[in-house]
Amino acid sequence: MCGQMKTLLDRLNPLYSADYLFRDIYMIATAAENEESAFEKAYNGLQGWVDCFEKASLKGMVSGGGIDAANTAEDHVDIMKKAYELGKNL
């Protein structure tokens, strides 16, 4: 899990005791590595956070490997299509 994601989840701790309205959680992740295992810790970390909220669930994830520089996601049409479809079905 990257530091930015960890910071985000930590800053959301006050929501634990709040009457939160979010229910469906989705994750879009990129990495330089092409192996799906590159995303396991980020996914598991987010799932652990979601598990703390009874009314919420992790509904979907799009992961894209081989994205290691600015604008390289555009070259991965299959991943971009998956992300588009995920968003379209929200």
Confidence of residue 90 (pLDDT cuts 50, 70, 90): confident
Count the domains in the chain: 1
Number of helices followed by number of strands (H, E) in the chain: 3, 2
* Domain around 76: 3-14+22-88
Closest CA to 60 of 15, 20, 16, 29: 29
pLDDT digits (tens, 9 = 90+) for 27-63: 999 999 988 888 999 999 999 999 999 999 999 999 9
- Are 39 and 45 in contact, with CB atoms under 8 Å apart? no
Predicted pLDDT at 1: 81
Q: Identity (one letter) of the amino acid at 43?
A: Y
